[in-house]
Amino acid sequence: MTDIVPASRLFDLSGEVAFITGASSGLGAHFAEVLAAHGAKVVLAARRLDRISALAARIGSSMAIAFDVTNRAGYAAAFDQAEAALGPVTLLINNAGVSGQPRFLDTPPEDFAFVQGTNVEAVWHLSQFFAKRLVAAKRPGAIINLASIASFRVGGTSASYAVSKAAVEQMTKAHAFELARHGIRVNAIAPGYIWSEMTEAHLNSEAGKAMLKRVPQRRAGDPSDLDGTLLLLASPRASGFMTGATIVVDGGHLTSFG
């Protein structure tokens, strides 16, 4: 019979090096603190170097790198710098993302291109770069993508955003299928409405308050509501037989029609 692994060891990320995009605020910054608290070394990657430098100084076992997910020419230098300081990167968190104009008929071509370039193309290209690096080194690893409840349904959300997050959900499956034989797991988290700098104005508006009344739990999520899912997917012990999965964390929002 397999030995029971205590939770303290099951979610111990010692030896893992996580590269987190969009780490300067919101979920990215929170994820960095959670992973570091569980033993991982963390690479904070974002365009706002001042913010991630302050965060890196606070949490320790981490470093800040100025990084633009849409600039493929900068990938190699960023990973070389990270690995020289912290060791081989084993975990990629594709967190960086943008929203866009709210309605299909009002969305200019350049706005659609910007949203897809950040939310879809950058996730594809960075995941490919990271996976090739792992395969060449014959190392296992994991990728965690940030999908959304907009991956599964649309409504008042931005049409271009919904399209991009649907692509991320399907991309997660496609990449998981190909990378499984290399020992690389690919999974996604699909949050509902979570309190953050990006969502605060909407959630405090009358429209936002009305929307929350239609969520079965009658509230938006706190970033900490995603901690268990993040740790599950990050830990090779806890989710070693999981790949291609998207875990919804939304207070039951997808079960309702609202």
**Catalytic positions, written as ranges:** 161
The residue to which tokens 């990320």 are assigned: 13
Query: What dihedral do alpha carbons 206, 208, 211, 217 form, nearest 10°?
Result: -120
Give dist(CA 250, CA 4) in Å, integer.
30
Tokens of 63: 């470093």
Give dist(CA 56, CA 44) in Å, integer.
7
| 192 and 171 Cβ atoms separated by less than 8 Å | no
Can you give the three-state secondary structure of 111-175, one letter per residue?
Answer: HHHHHHHHHHHHHHHHHHHHHHHHHHHCCCEEEEEECCHHHCCCCCCCHHHHHHHHHHHHHHHHH
DSSP string, 169-193: HHHHHHHHHHHGGGTEEEEEEEE-S
Kindly report the length of the chain: 258
The H-or-E segment that residue 97 falls in is: none
Tell me the β-bridge partners of 190.
Answer: 248
